[in-house]
Structure 1
């Protein structure tokens, strides 16, 4: 495929508006939800062959809910990731190991998303069971990055990020078990907030694990869209154990103490990413925040334990596939990454009690960091989005794992500890690929992250792919 930039922005009902602006146009009567859906469907048709982000389409029957009618995001088209149930559409999980059948009911999160007023047009592709950091497959064609189609859009919410970055919809569902909201946001120049564990309703898959790594959310092109979604979702369900979030509408006034982390104990950050993080630190200092270099107490043992737990998840999938997914589930059809992770877990399963004990302890360690800091600034990834094939599940397992550990070196901490983290666009590499920076905060402090995000966006508006 030619190495090109692909987008669908044009002069139609969607224009270059974000979701908040589109919902306002619907409320004023200037456009109708039907017009927005028609424009999004037309845009999807223009980019689908180049990017391949859609797993299942429901263009003739967009999904809405009665609760969502007139909601804050009423009429805005979106997509749901293909690892969450939507009644009447299959949930394929990105896998060839089973035949997905139409779901009988919505997942709890699907109802929460629909309650905001969004209209779901279909489901987006993800790598097998969301285990990889690139949306690539053993035999199927990959999802491609709209900014540079020879490269990965990240994962596991790669299909969602490709659709939003390319302008098909302004907002799309994503979820995150090791970075899967924040990684594709960084690769595609988007905003991606992984909320505190428990902020939204419990994810059906994550809630069954000994340590719940998975949180749902969205990827967007503007901070206010992310803020609007979480405020709207909170109207459907608010966790009384967390501080209420409400609608965050702009930068905060408080000056913060921000810890700066540039390298991971397991990977050296590339020059372009390092420069983006350091420039962001300088911008925050110019706003009056105090940025101080720091180190995080999560080293190589944490990475080994996280990898072992990832292997445990793959083992559970293979063991229970016939009971949970499909009686015809064939473990022999799992891709090379899932199979390798399962086998690595089986070889060292006696480590599991210690792995779980150490990972559970990290929540308190993480909380301790924020007794001295209001936020932590770091890269999202150790290097920019790799070319298609670099993280293919067909790469030899040991080499693939080594590449993943050198790439996904920052995001898993927030999944294990349950703390919130946000990926924000921070310029571009010489290749033109987007670079993301990562901000973390204490449990329940998404407001801190959104206020910093607003400030950075106002200081230097994000690059637009159509420019």
Structure 2
């Protein structure tokens, strides 16, 4: 298999070739290693040299032989050193064992070839850690690949692998998907396991999954890894049985709940998507849930401070080597009180109740994924001495104000690369459904992909 044949196929296509005997898993891996080296030389998305050999996996799994990457924050794989994007962890901290999700990736037969970069501690919408340098957007190497799953997005978009692990605590799957022209689904809270070391991540506001180039790969991966693990705190409900295609109630808004300005090309892409859905027979209207933006900020910022403070309380981390926002965040954790955390959880509840009420009258909400085009590298500055997390987050969310509320509510949301700017950059459109309704998102996404297929990086 040559590199052009390899990069032309998604994960489903590669597995079909292997299953039919047209190519061996070893030949696919060889092509993937060449593609990974070439892509990484362009976009700088790897946090360490490729694994040699690949991590162990089940050769009989449903995705056996499909190349794969994991993010530098886990899923933890036994013996693999993780850095969390930080100089402060020195040579890295080897994982003591596999997490539940890593076991599922192995059981699926995915051939894990490496570790992808992320911003330090995963707290940024661009991936430019001091330790590894910037992950570059393959559509324009001078622009951000997004964050925090930026290394994964850059390498999938550049053709290194068809699918890579990612995680989303405020938009960290959907933002890189929008920046790099990929499909990025944030599942419902509890759909994908986070254990056993954690009962939840970020007080239930962080969800793990993957980035792909096609909707069918996203749907297949969800089938492969979803479902509760032993002792999980949350369990998303099974998808309801649908009687067949039906007319959905679709709302669309391009106005940011934060008041941030929205680029006209970005807004136009969301509007065009709504028109496509209307032509497909769905009932579309301009409407928006009531979102208390200050409550969203409070819920996300305070819980992240508390979560990171607890994770790093007994870690080998060197505080002197932390980047600016990380340092102030961990310092703030020492001053956080129980009442502060309870107030943040109350804010989460208020946002969740308000937004959930909107979805009793609407099936799907269409918004832009981001408010702006992918930013030039260096625009979002994380390593600023003394900069506290809340003002940093408020400024950063001006780039993508549409994604964070749905981490607070736990609803599924997907970014699709349905737009292109005049300059040729990808534009993401976000679809959001009620809790547990990934089925609606994937059904609509598949139809949109067929009617308005998106290009690949040339």
TM-score under structure 2 normalisation?
A: 0.91
Answering whether residue 61 of structure 2 is matched by residue 71 of structure 1, we say yes
Instruction: Describe the shift of the 1:319–1:330 C-alpha distance in structure 2 as closer, same or farther (beyond 3 A).
Output: farther
Question: Given that residues 195 and 229 in structure 2 are in contact (C-alpha distance below 8 angstroms), is that contact kept between their aligned partners in structure 1?
Answer: no
- Cα RMSD over matched residues? 2.6
> Is the deviation greater in 196-205 or in 270-279?
196-205
Answering whether residue 285 of structure 2 is matched by residue 292 of structure 1, we say yes
Output one character per residue of 1:265-294: Cα deviation in whole Å (capped at 9) or x when no partner: 211211110010111111111111111111
Question: Given that residues 427 and 463 in structure 1 are in contact (C-alpha distance below 8 angstroms), is that contact kept between their aligned partners in structure 2?
Answer: no
Is there any run of 5+ residues in structure 1 with no aligned partner, and where? 1-8
Residue of structure 1 aligned with 2:270, choices 274, 277, 282: 277
Give the distance between the partners of 2:397 and 2:381, measured in 1 at CA: 14
SS of equivalent to 1:86: coil
SS of equivalent to 1:451: helix
> Is the deviation greater in 400-409 or in 329-338?
400-409
Answering whether residue 81 of structure 2 is matched by residue 90 of structure 1, we say yes
SS of equivalent to 1:14: helix
Answering whether residue 326 of structure 2 is matched by residue 338 of structure 1, we say yes
Could you say which residue in structure 2 is the equivalent of 1:48? 40
Residue of structure 2 aligned with 1:119, choices 108, 111, 133: 111
Question: Given that residues 88 and 321 in structure 2 are in contact (C-alpha distance below 8 angstroms), is that contact kept between their aligned partners in structure 1?
Answer: yes
Instruction: Describe the shift of the 1:197–1:101 C-alpha distance in structure 2 as closer, same or farther (beyond 3 A).
Output: same
Cα deviation for residue 318 of structure 1 reads 4.8
Question: Given that residues 13 and 36 in structure 1 are in contact (C-alpha distance below 8 angstroms), is that contact kept between their aligned partners in structure 2?
Answer: no
Residue of structure 1 aligned with 2:377, choices 388, 392, 396: 388
SS of equivalent to 1:305: helix
Question: Given that residues 75 and 117 in structure 1 are in contact (C-alpha distance below 8 angstroms), is that contact kept between their aligned partners in structure 2?
Answer: yes
Instruction: Describe the shift of the 1:128–1:293 C-alpha distance in structure 2 as closer, same or farther (beyond 3 A).
Output: same
Instruction: Describe the shift of the 1:241–1:217 C-alpha distance in structure 2 as closer, same or farther (beyond 3 A).
Output: closer
Residue of structure 1 aligned with 2:249, choices 257, 272, 278: 257
SS of equivalent to 1:97: helix
Give the distance between the partners of 1:356 and 1:254, measured in 2 at CA: 36
Cα deviation for residue 392 of structure 1 reads 2.6
Cα deviation for residue 21 of structure 1 reads 0.8
Could you say which residue in structure 2 is the equivalent of 1:6? none
Instruction: Describe the shift of the 1:178–1:206 C-alpha distance in structure 2 as closer, same or farther (beyond 3 A).
Output: farther
Cα deviation for residue 201 of structure 1 reads 1.1
> Is the deviation greater in 300-309 or in 95-104?
300-309
Give the distance between the partners of 2:184 and 2:156, measured in 1 at CA: 11
SS of equivalent to 2:289: coil
Could you say which residue in structure 2 is the equivalent of 1:244? 238
Give the distance between the partners of 1:247 and 1:79, measured in 2 at CA: 33
Give the distance between the partners of 2:106 and 2:241, measured in 1 at CA: 18
Is there any run of 5+ residues in structure 2 with no aligned partner, and where? none
Cα deviation for residue 122 of structure 1 reads 1.1
Question: Given that residues 314 and 338 in structure 1 are in contact (C-alpha distance below 8 angstroms), is that contact kept between their aligned partners in structure 2?
Answer: no
Cα deviation for residue 429 of structure 1 reads 1.4
SS of equivalent to 1:56: coil
Give the distance between the partners of 1:235 and 1:413, measured in 2 at CA: 24
Instruction: Describe the shift of the 1:253–1:235 C-alpha distance in structure 2 as closer, same or farther (beyond 3 A).
Output: same
Question: Given that residues 58 and 121 in structure 1 are in contact (C-alpha distance below 8 angstroms), is that contact kept between their aligned partners in structure 2?
Answer: yes
Give the distance between the partners of 2:349 and 2:197, measured in 1 at CA: 18
SS of equivalent to 2:89: coil
Question: Given that residues 227 and 247 in structure 1 are in contact (C-alpha distance below 8 angstroms), is that contact kept between their aligned partners in structure 2?
Answer: no
Give the distance between the partners of 1:406 and 1:430, measured in 2 at CA: 22
SS of equivalent to 2:170: coil
Could you say which residue in structure 1 is the equivalent of 2:184? 192
Question: Given that residues 46 and 117 in structure 2 are in contact (C-alpha distance below 8 angstroms), is that contact kept between their aligned partners in structure 1?
Answer: yes
Give the distance between the partners of 1:408 and 1:147, measured in 2 at CA: 19
Give the distance between the partners of 1:344 and 1:269, measured in 2 at CA: 32
SS of equivalent to 2:48: strand
Question: Given that residues 182 and 423 in structure 1 are in contact (C-alpha distance below 8 angstroms), is that contact kept between their aligned partners in structure 2?
Answer: yes
Instruction: Describe the shift of the 1:389–1:371 C-alpha distance in structure 2 as closer, same or farther (beyond 3 A).
Output: same
Instruction: Describe the shift of the 1:83–1:203 C-alpha distance in structure 2 as closer, same or farther (beyond 3 A).
Output: farther
> Is the deviation greater in 332-341 or in 187-196?
332-341
Answering whether residue 7 of structure 2 is matched by residue 18 of structure 1, we say no
Could you say which residue in structure 2 is the equivalent of 1:453? 445
Question: Given that residues 206 and 214 in structure 1 are in contact (C-alpha distance below 8 angstroms), is that contact kept between their aligned partners in structure 2?
Answer: no
> Is the deviation greater in 339-348 or in 193-202?
339-348
Question: Given that residues 202 and 304 in structure 2 are in contact (C-alpha distance below 8 angstroms), is that contact kept between their aligned partners in structure 1?
Answer: no
Residues paired across the two proteins, number: 448
Question: Given that residues 116 and 152 in structure 2 are in contact (C-alpha distance below 8 angstroms), is that contact kept between their aligned partners in structure 1?
Answer: yes
Question: Given that residues 315 and 341 in structure 1 are in contact (C-alpha distance below 8 angstroms), is that contact kept between their aligned partners in structure 2?
Answer: no
